[in-house]
Amino acid sequence: MTAARGRGRPRDPETDAAILRAALELFVERGVEGTSMEQIAKRAGVGKLTVYRRWSTKEDLIAQAVEQAVSADLTPSPADVEALTPQEIIERLLPAAAETAATPAFRAMAARMMGSAVSHPQLMAVYWKHHILPRRELAVAMLRRAQKDGTVAADADLDVLIDMMSGAVTWRVLQPDPPDTAEMLDYLKAVYRQVGLYRPGP
């Protein structure tokens, strides 16, 4: 007897990476309206069907491309949230987060996402459901731990605190004179200190 064949060939990580990179580049350059699955396939050097086998809509693809560009640097893992204190998590993420947030690419991506919330709400709906909400759940877990530690007020509205943190960073990077990496690092420390998640060392 011969072994049963799997359902198609395994996905090639290099192909996935090329498609995600092309989707992000086109989104930043042209916005949602100016980006199509055909254009993404052409820039990635693959066939259109190769893209559609992996993502059914351009909104799904762009949302994942944006998430991949920032998640490693700006988001703690569930394991970190479970094992580490908020202070330890913030200290671990701060340098990479500041470096990423200070880049022109991040600034352009943030501007496109903000604009898409109005001009193309379907993209924001997909991004919110699959990427922002899981992050907010991690942030809530961190804040609840900080409440137990006494660094965040017990009666604090955690949703408001999360909105304040994310809104502060977005507003700062979109200013006409955005901060460099060192300035962004100082700003992030100040934001987290105000909320109660970070205490400067001696």
Phi-psi category of residue 157: left, alpha or beta, with phi > 0 → left and psi -120 to 50 → alpha:
beta
Q: How far apart are CA 9 and CA 92, in angstroms?
A: 38
Q: Please report the pLDDT score of residue 117 as a whole number.
A: 86
Q: Based on the number of CB atoms within 10 Å of its own CB, is 6 exposed (0-12), middle (13-18) or buried (19 or more)?
A: exposed
The one-letter code for the residue type at 72 is A
Out of 3.40.50.620, 1.10.150.110, 3.20.20.70, 1.10.357.10, the CATH code matching 62-195 is 1.10.357.10
- 188: which 2 tokens? 């992030």
Q: Please report the pLDDT score of residue 81 as a whole number.
A: 85
Domain boundaries, the chain: 62-195
Q: Please report the pLDDT score of residue 6 as a whole number.
A: 40
Q: Please report the pLDDT score of residue 77 as a whole number.
A: 80
* Helices assigned H by DSSP within 45-157: 48-54, 58-74, 78-83, 86-101, 104-119, 121-127, 133-149
Q: Please report the pLDDT score of residue 82 as a whole number.
A: 86
Q: Which residues of the chain have pLDDT under 50?
A: 1-8
Q: Please report the pLDDT score of residue 150 as a whole number.
A: 94
Q: Please report the pLDDT score of residue 202 as a whole number.
A: 62
Q: Please report the pLDDT score of residue 85 as a whole number.
A: 92
Q: Please report the pLDDT score of residue 62 as a whole number.
A: 94
**Tokens 């501007």 — which residue?**
111
Q: Please report the pLDDT score of residue 74 as a whole number.
A: 64
Please count the residues of the chain: 202
Which among 142, 166, 127, 162 is positioned nearest to 78, based on CA atoms? Answer: 142
Cβ neighbors of 183 (< 8 A, separation 6 or more) are 102
